[in-house]
Amino acid sequence: MINVYISSDHRGFDLKNELLSTFSLPEGFSFSDLGPAVLDETDDYNDAAKRVSEAVLHAPGSFGILVCGSGTGVAIAANRHAGIRAVVGWTPKIAELARAHEDANVICFAADFQNSSEAKDALQSFLTSVFSEEPRHVRRINRLDEMEIL
């Protein structure tokens, strides 16, 4: 079973819960809700990104979903973790290319700008696309992993 870890901040809370309750995962996938369980208007997106990033890193082959208002805060925070390749999944094509070219393992959604239908379409594409393993893409990902973090 492939785990799909999901979390949000307060602005992404409703979209996260809608994805959990209405999105039909492809066969062989299962959701793990990493919270929050209740709406907390004072939470920070950093905490959601940390929960999902650590879960994905500890379960090779798993995926993450993060939701905040713009999608960018959680993407930036998630990408601070070595081995995480998070992308804001605006469209199904972006989600597909992020998997095929960057082997992205976390997709981020912008609850203030994407409705649930758009997020579900992008998520479906993300979870069903595969990394191309073309040498140029492997080389670029390896270079990311070699970049010095200050």
Q: What is the pLDDT of residues 76-122, one digit of tens each?
A: 999 999 999 999 999 999 999 999 999 999 999 999 999 999 999 99
pLDDT at 3 over 90: yes
Burial of 26 (0-12, 13-18, 19+ CB in 10 A): exposed
Known catalytic residue: 108?
no
Q: What is the pLDDT of residue 145?
A: 80
Contact 95, 126 (CB under 8 A): yes
Among residues 10, 58, 101, 108, which one is catalytic? 101
Which domain range does residue 99 map to? 2-146
Helix, strand, or coil (residue 62): coil
Among residues 10, 68, 81, 108, which one is catalytic? 68
Residue 149's CB is within 10 A of a number of other CB atoms, namely: 6
How many domains does one find in the chain?
1
Q: What is the CATH number of the domain that holds 125?
A: 3.40.1400.10
Q: What is the pLDDT of residue 148?
A: 63
Helix, strand, or coil (residue 77): helix
Greatest CA separation found in the chain? 45
Contact 12, 111 (CB under 8 A): yes
